[in-house]
A and B are shown apart, each in its own frame.
Chain A
Amino acid sequence: MKRQARRTLARALGLAALPFALSAALAQPTQPGRAPVTEPEIRYQAGGSPLAQEDMHQNIDPKAPPMTKAEFDKGRQIYFERCAGCHGVLRKGATGKPLTPDITMAKGTEILKVFIKYGSPAGMPNWGTSGEMTDAEVDLMARYIQQVPPVPPEFGMPQMKSTWKVVIAPEKRPTKKMNNYNIENIFSTTLRDTGEVALIDGDTKKIINIVKTGYAVHISRLSASGRYLYVIGRDAKINLIDLWMEKPDNVAEIRVGLEARSVDTSKYKGYQDKYAIAGSYWPPQYTIMKGDTLEPLKIMATRGMTVGDQEYHPEPRVAAIVASHFKPEFVVNIKETGKVLMVNYADINNLNVTEIEAAKYLHDGGFDVTKRYFLVAANQSNKVAVIDVKEGKLVKLVDVDKIPHPGRGANFTHPRFGTVWATGHLGSEKIALIGTDPKKKDTAWKVVQYLDGQGGGNLFIKTHPKSKNLWVDTPLNPDAKIAQSIAVYDISNLDKKPETLPIADWANLGEGAKRVVQPEYNKAGDEVWFAVWSAKNQQSALVVVDDKTKKLKAVIKDPRIITPTGHFNVYNTTHDIY
């Protein structure tokens, strides 16, 4: 009871802090010669972690500066909300430097305070001078990071089983579709701060159901048949939704850890709808489950050696997961070790895993148009790794611009270079087009062209086989005008400047952050949907644009649509069309 109350309070505080953090970041003057790290990167990496609310084991080091329990708890809270994204749960370092006590105690409180308050040219944000931490908090954090890092609990089979619930058993579910919805054109939209997804009928633009899920659902994925929808929250809660029900709703749920990002399902012939897999940030592991009940079957740890320098890493987080169409395999990308694991699910008791060396810190990615090649961003190495999922090996590491963030990327045919896969960047305004036709020796797996976008802070980029447009968002750009609009490129003439469409203005919402996120096509490929994401206490909306005319087609507003972010069309997600 008490713990629940504290959790709710902390969550409320975290939410209240978000709009303030954004406005503070906007007001902050740029310091000349400082931080190559950009605002979009800070916003992206320094997002909160659900671990802030977990009880953890703590060792005491008498040599560390003294702290009261209350101070320590506050430090831990701030650490997991601001710092863990880059420095890691155990402070072993990831995109940020390692902060283990041997390193931090040698530097001492005063030096650490300077770094926390003013930042550093290597990329540390200036938390003090940006107004996000008071001097007292800077001092607290300088002392906190000299303590032994507290360790969150493990989450194995007993914990998973205790959270596993089958709401409707498979034999009690419909044997055929019981509704009149055009299931293939349903959109699953994350309602970030309320811990829900909205299922929206793409034909009528009406809400079918609001389904309770984990907090800040990261992605939605479909089973191979398109019947089952899987969503995973940042708190590692997975919900299984049956789209055949009269009113589609939850039929099973489970937690696979304390923090997670990725889920997918078996797509290979003969294994359709059989297995689901989810990757966790904490504990560092992936879990294979029964596809129709989420019953956990097999948990695999990812702790191990890094690529290249071959040093032990205690918390390699699981980034993107996709399902191969060529073999009964999941493609599991491990962030800190920089390895891609081809996990063969043909015999999960005698699991066969092929480990492919790529580059550090793997993040997200998508297939090329043939689905044979998987392109994944190694975002701190500024590279895209190309994996041949048919042969199970690395084809190439392609150099791209600063901090690539493809989402799943976008595939189209370039008028001069043939088939390409495109990614935007968090750290720059560039859009990289990579040649994907292996027969074209001089353009295959090379950046054939960079397009200039509106600015850094891009998250998603999208086109459709039936479209001639490439849509690029910039929701994390500090300039409100850029964050609230979309750039559209004409694929038949990519040398032409893009058109910019003021999507947020079209939603006509009044005050708010109104970041425009994630272009997503309908099944027919003639409409593009956007989320206009405002704060929890402000109105948000979804905006539907006609692909051909680039004119507003519909605005979906509803008091239940609170903080919409990602959204996924059932047909395009089932068939990896992007």
Chain B
Amino acid sequence: MNIRTTTLALAVAGGLLATAPARADEALAKKHNCLACHQIDKKSVGPAYKEIAKKYKGQAGIEAKLADKVKKGGSGVWGPVPMAPNAAVSDADLKTLVAWILKM
């Protein structure tokens, strides 16, 4: 095996590693019904995840604030349509989902 094919193989493997968790997070979002109202790059009933990421990315302490918002619901920031509270989602799942959204 020469060096070039090895690098290619590594790059392919790396790509797979990067996308696999994203898919797992999306499945988690689906499981908790987030996708009933949100889409990744289009406004639906709620704002697009990419818009959320653009608005909040880099702000200090935002992860905890957003996790709290998902849990309790809210309204007013993106228009009059409220977000329903999601009290049943575990803290660990909340953390994963918020991190996934902010990475977009």
Contact = CB atoms under 8 A, between A and B. Distances in A.
Interface of B: 33, 36-37, 43-45, 73, 80-85
> Looking at chain A, what size class is its interface with the partner chain?
10 to 19
B84 A110 contact: yes
A111 B36 contact: yes
A118 B33 contact: no
Nearest to B88: A108
Given A107-B33, A111-B33, A111-B36, A33 B43 contact: yes
Contacts of A33: 43
B33 to A, nearest CB: 6
Interface in A77-134: 106-108, 110-111, 113-115, 118, 120-121, 129
Given A110-B73, A110-B85, A113-B84, A118 B45 contact: yes
Contacts of B82: 114
Contacts of B80: 118, 129
A106 B85 CA distance: 14
Given A107-B33, A120-B44, 6 more contacts: A114-B37, A114-B82, A114-B83, A114-B84, A118-B45, A120-B45
B37 A111 contact: yes
A115 B45 contact: yes
A115 B85 CA distance: 14
A106 B83 CA distance: 16
DSSP class of A's interface residues: helix, strand, loop or mixed? helix
A115 B84 CA distance: 10
26 contacts: A106-B33, A107-B33, A107-B36, A108-B33, A108-B84, A110-B73, A110-B84, A110-B85, A111-B33, A111-B36, A111-B37, A113-B84, A114-B45, A114-B81, A114-B82, A114-B83, A114-B84, A115-B45, A118-B45, A118-B80, A118-B81, A120-B44, A120-B45, A121-B43, A121-B44, A129-B80
A111 B82 CA distance: 10
Q: Which of A33, A111, A120, A129 has the most CB of B within 10 A?
A: A111
A104 to B, nearest CB: 11
Nearest to B34: A111
A523 to B, nearest CB: 53
B3 to A, nearest CB: 50
Contacts of A121: 43-45
- Nearest 4 A/B pairs, CB to CB: A110-B84, A118-B81, A111-B84, A120-B45
Interface in A13-50: 33
A118 B83 CA distance: 11
Nearest to A111: B84
Contacts of B84: 108, 110-111, 113-114
Contacts of B73: 110
For A106, A114, A115, A129, the residue with the greatest tally of chain B CB atoms inside 10 Å of its CB is A114
A316 B7 CA distance: 58
Contacts of A113: 84
A120 B82 CA distance: 13
A106 B82 CA distance: 19
A37 to B, nearest CB: 14
B7 to A, nearest CB: 45
B28 to A, nearest CB: 15
Contacts of B43: 33, 121
A113 B75 CA distance: 14
Nearest to B43: A33
Nearest to A120: B45
Contacts of B33: 106-108, 111
B51 to A, nearest CB: 12
Contacts of A114: 37, 45, 81-84
Contacts of B81: 114, 118
Contacts of B37: 111, 114
